[in-house]
Amino acid sequence: MNQTDLDILLREGEGSMLEYKESLPASFARDLAAFANSAGGKILLGVRDDGTVAGVRDTNELRARIQDLARNCDPPVKVLVEPVGKVLAVTVRESEGKPVQCSEGFFWRQGASTQKLSRDEIRDFFRSEGVIRFDLSICPKFRYPQDFDREKYNAWLRLSGITGRPRTIEFIEKAGTGIKRIRDEARAQGCPEPRFEETGFFTATFFPNPEVRSQAGTMPGPSTGEVTGEVAGEVIRLLTAMKDEMSRGEMQEALHLRHEDHFREAYLVPALKAGLIEMTIPDKPRSSKQRYRTTAAGLEVLGRQKRSAASKGKSRSSR
């Protein structure tokens, strides 16, 4: 929009698609909704009612207020804000989701003024925009079976090609196969039989594999007894790298390991199973605040490793 376009609008005067505003009024959202509900239009800020230019200061704050008012409409209104000389031109696009409302209700343009829609006008507006379809609307006055016409209903079925008694799409692919597949999969995974309930809603309850559950329950448990047998080298590396309480990421970084799956399988899980480390939040294994610390048994293994290393060092020096 340029100065020539502005001069034409100033000579034209206010109308169904043009509004003058000397400043940004409190009722500005009404005008946005009204233009969006009509054919769109322009609002010229900095122009008096008689078409003379008073001017308005173009600031980021003013533009932000205009955009906020447009976004707060339901649905949001699309606007273009551009300065032309001393005037700020706000172009309002016709909405594709009519009717549009602002916080004060529904509005539209009637001539050169913004008018609030009455109850009946709102209803008619919804219907004219196709928001309310007559054939999908409920008729509150209908009473069955008094008002039901069987002959007209049968005629409608014939014309629409509907049988009136749908065969078992037509509605489903294969009867009963879903529940069978669920049971077969649970059985294959060693899980108990799922429980199915019908109480207005269909509910399926699944149960974990008892063996896996028992292993999961023993993994975080600390061990305070004497540790016997061989301890994997990966676990020894983990115990040596641990300092106080550490997160999974910190432990993996201390070991210079890239792959999380490898770290879990070769280091973390074996150490937990052996009771050499423990979780600080055992009730919530997957907590984002989860950390790990060395148990008494883990400290025992580290001490044994140090003593063994010291003994080997003395043996070499004596040679």
| Per-residue pLDDT at 245 exceeds 70 | yes
DSSP secondary structure letter of residue 268: I
User: Domain locations in the chain?
Assistant: 3-128, 180-216, 219-318
* Alpha-carbon span 267 to 292, nearest angstrom: 13
User: What is the CATH number that goes with domain 219-318?
Assistant: 1.10.10.10
* Alpha-carbon span 75 to 79, nearest angstrom: 13
Question: How does residue 223 score in pLDDT terms, banded at 50, 70 and 90?
Answer: very low
Q: Which of 15-24, 212-221, 307-316 is the most confident on average?
A: 15-24
Question: How does residue 222 score in pLDDT terms, banded at 50, 70 and 90?
Answer: very low
pLDDT of the residue at 122: 82
Nearest 5°: CA angle at 33, between 56 and 78?
A: 75
The residues near 12 (Cβ < 8 Å, ≥ 6 apart) are: 18
User: What is the CATH number that goes with domain 3-128?
Assistant: 3.30.950
Q: How many CB atoms lie within 10 A of CB 163?
A: 10
pLDDT of the residue at 218: 43
pLDDT digits (tens, 9 = 90+) for 302-317: 888 888 777 766 655 5
* Alpha-carbon span 25 to 134, nearest angstrom: 39
The model's pTM is 0.42
DSSP secondary structure letter of residue 89: E
pLDDT of the residue at 220: 41
Backbone angles phi, psi at 45, to 5 degrees: -85, 135
46-to-25, 36, 52, 87, 173 alpha-carbon distances in Å: 11, 21, 9, 5, 66
- Name residue 25's amino acid: P
